């Protein structure tokens, strides 16, 4: 077997970059470790400015032909990639669970099917993308979405392949070429995606994958003058760095960043439903940007809500994510585990009380935690923990509920539990958030706009909003006369 291949969960994965249709090795590597048991999975090619430049050059060279490819052919190739994902769904699920520690059952049933759906949805949306012509003083206005050029897509570790293809699929559908830079803590399924795209017939250079650290390969990618779009999902500090890097070239950005989302539970809510929604926030060990980590409960029902919540949380099973019965897996990396533990430790020292959890488990596991007796201006309420840690506060009326909900620098999502439709309408209208769920959570349609407000992001993607970002939207105005008759 090649020294550049590693076997993960019985699946061969190439550890090199994928540039211009070829596998390219770096002289240096970085170590990829499984969060499940700390075992070394692979030594991954560690990209530098040289690989970044080569990948952008490959994307630039491939762009004219790909941009000129008819919509129907681009859509066909995206469907062929989706077919390849479905054929290898079990392999992708096994590799990603081993690499990032998320539940295997979730990867099999939800995440990897969504990966395929990302490609199918944007392939189909491309074929329907249209704007009705309109007239201005007899002149015809015709709107088109023109491919923009090479895109750099930088993706996170908490749902590696799903969030990568949420960007890759619309960019390719739009006629752009792509340089994908996956997170260094979970790079393996991005490499498999390159194989699948090649097998589907995607032309060389249209999709490139470069691995490595942000400071070494990410910076030269985002600062490259030939890059026409940058899409990033991750932390606010990294987004600031990317935005500063892109500013020199005025490269348009789409940023989906952190969250500190609220779950508002009113006294008229179905408390069992509300408790279920709250427990659901422990999904993926709390490593979900959309998670409603701030539970806000109307005071008269706070005690009863807490009782039901703790009963339901006690039934959760934490353990090996490859086992069907497991509900919560490990934290992605020792650094992330230490970050989570630091947040909770400081909160407890400041007077917070742990209703459940509040401590580390064995290995890279952190116990599901609910903290109460927290101040609104405290670190644990204001800053994103990105782990299985929730806080609980009470409110007396709608105004206070909305004030507390909006009182952070974030605005990614919010969830409202209430039995009163009029109240739901009043409250949701006042919440600062890119997505609001009422009596439900994580219902996502790819037609819907997705993004955050305030420090939770810049821009929206999804449906036509994705094409608005990945394309140069052009309006052509034609006079009613002036053409010569060639008949």
CATH code: domain of residue 404: 3.40.309.10
> Do residues 120 and 79 lie in contact, with contact meaning Cβ atoms separated by under 8 Å?
yes
Closest by CA position to 127, among listed 173, 167, 166: 173
Whether 325 and 383 share a structural domain: yes
Range of the domain at 375: 262-438
CATH number at residue 81: 3.40.605.10
Whether 243 and 281 share a structural domain: no
- Which of 395, 415, 438 corresponds to the end of one domain? 438
Whether 39 and 160 share a structural domain: yes
Q: How far is the C-alpha of 401 from the C-alpha of 198, rounded, in Å?
A: 51
Whether 238 and 370 share a structural domain: no
User: Hey, which residues does 296 pair with through a beta bridge?
Assistant: 264, 393
Q: How far is the C-alpha of 22 from the C-alpha of 62, rounded, in Å?
A: 13
**Token pair in block for residue 148:** 């923009």
Whether 228 and 371 share a structural domain: no
- Which of 396, 419, 438 corresponds to the end of one domain? 438
In a domain, 351, yes or no: yes
In a domain, 459, yes or no: no
Whether 249 and 266 share a structural domain: no
pTM for the model: 0.95
In a domain, 450, yes or no: no
Q: How far is the C-alpha of 137 from the C-alpha of 159, rounded, in Å?
A: 50
Q: How far is the C-alpha of 340 from the C-alpha of 388, rounded, in Å?
A: 8
Whether 98 and 201 share a structural domain: yes
3-state secondary structure of 124: helix
Whether 291 and 245 share a structural domain: no
Angle at 268 between CA 265 and CA 271, to 5 degrees: 60
**Token pair in block for residue 447:** 């037609």
In a domain, 107, yes or no: yes
At 262, phi and psi to the nearest 5?
A: -95, 150
Residues taking part in catalysis: 256, 289
- Which of 398, 423, 438 corresponds to the end of one domain? 438
Q: How far is the C-alpha of 410 from the C-alpha of 432, rounded, in Å?
A: 8
Closest by CA position to 50, among listed 246, 184, 206, 212: 212
Q: How far is the C-alpha of 76 from the C-alpha of 56, rounded, in Å?
A: 25
Whether 224 and 324 share a structural domain: no
Going residue by residue through the chain, which has 487 residues, state the pLDDT in tens, using 9 for 90 and above: 468 999 999 999 999 999 999 999 999 999 999 999 999 999 999 999 999 999 999 999 999 999 999 999 999 999 999 999 999 999 999 999 999 999 999 999 999 999 999 999 999 999 999 999 999 999 999 999 999 999 999 999 999 999 999 999 999 999 999 999 999 999 999 999 999 999 999 999 999 999 999 999 999 999 999 999 999 999 999 999 999 999 999 999 999 999 999 999 999 999 999 999 999 999 999 999 999 999 999 999 999 999 999 999 999 999 999 999 999 999 999 999 999 999 999 999 999 999 999 999 989 999 999 999 999 999 999 999 999 999 999 999 999 999 999 999 999 999 999 999 999 999 999 999 999 999 999 999 999 999 999 999 999 999 999 999 999 999 999 999 888 877 6
Residues 6 or more apart from 431 whose CB is under 8 A from it? Answer: 262, 402, 405, 406, 414, 416
């Amino acid at each position: 077997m090649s020294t550049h291949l590693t076997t993960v969960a019985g699946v061969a994965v190439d550890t090199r970059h994928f540039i211009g249709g070829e596998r390219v090795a770096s002289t240096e590597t970085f170590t990829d470790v499984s969060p499940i048991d700390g075992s070394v999975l692979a030594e991954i090619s560690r990209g530098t400015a040289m690989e970044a430049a080569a990948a952008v050059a490959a994307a630039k060279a491939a762009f004219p032909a790909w941009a000129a490819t008819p919509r129907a052919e681009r859509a066909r190739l995206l469907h062929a990639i989706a077919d390849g994902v479905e054929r290898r769904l079990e392999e992708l699920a096994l590799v990603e669970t081993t690499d990032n520690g998320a539940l295997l059952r979730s990867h099999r049933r939800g995440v990897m099917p969504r990966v395929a759906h990302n490609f199918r949805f944007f392939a189909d949306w491309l074929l329907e993308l249209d704007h009705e012509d309109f007239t201005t003083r007899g002149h015809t206005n015709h709107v088109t979405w023109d491919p923009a050029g090479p895109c750099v897509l930088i993706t996170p570790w908490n749902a590696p392949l799903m969030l990568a293809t949420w960007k890759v699929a619309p960019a390719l559908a739009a006629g752009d070429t792509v340089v994908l830079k996956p997170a260094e803590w979970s790079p393996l399924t991005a490499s498999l995606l390159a194989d699948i795209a090649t097998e589907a017939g995607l032309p060389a250079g249209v999709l490139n994958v470069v691995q490595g650290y942000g400071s070494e390969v990410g910076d030269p990618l985002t600062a490259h003058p030939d890059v026409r779009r940058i899409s990033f999902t991750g932390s606010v500090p990294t987004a600031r760095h990317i935005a500063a890097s892109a500013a020199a070239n005025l490269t348009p950005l789409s940023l989906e960043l952190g969250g500190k989302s609220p779950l508002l539970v009113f006294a008229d809510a179905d408390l069992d439903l509300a408790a279920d929604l709250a427990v659901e926030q422990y999904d993926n060990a709390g490593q979900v940007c959309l998670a409603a980590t701030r539970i806000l409960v109307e005071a008269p029902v706070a005690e009863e809500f807490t009782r039901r919540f703790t009963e339901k949380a006690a039934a959760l099973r934490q353990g090996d994510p490859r086992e069907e019965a497991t509900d919560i897996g490990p934290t992605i990396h020792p650094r992330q585990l230490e970050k989570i533990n630091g947040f909770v430790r400081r909160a407890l020292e400041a007077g917070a009380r742990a209703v459940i959890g509040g401590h580390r488990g064995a290995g890279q596991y952190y116990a599901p935690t609910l903290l109460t007796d927290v101040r609104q201006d405290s670190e644990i309420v204001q800053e994103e923990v990105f782990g299985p840690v929730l806080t609980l506060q009470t409110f007396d009326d709608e105004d206070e509920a909305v004030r507390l909900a909006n009182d952070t620098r974030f605005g990614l999502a919010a969830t409202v539990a209430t039995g009163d439709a009029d109240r739901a309408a009043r409250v949701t209208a006042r919440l600062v958030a890119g997505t609001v769920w009422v009596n439900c959570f994580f219902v996502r349609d790819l037609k819907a706009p997705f993004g955050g407000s305030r420090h939770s992001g810049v821009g929206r993607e999804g449906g036509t909003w994705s094409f608005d970002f990945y394309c140069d939207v052009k309006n052509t105005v034609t006079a009613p006369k002036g053409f010569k008759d060639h008949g």
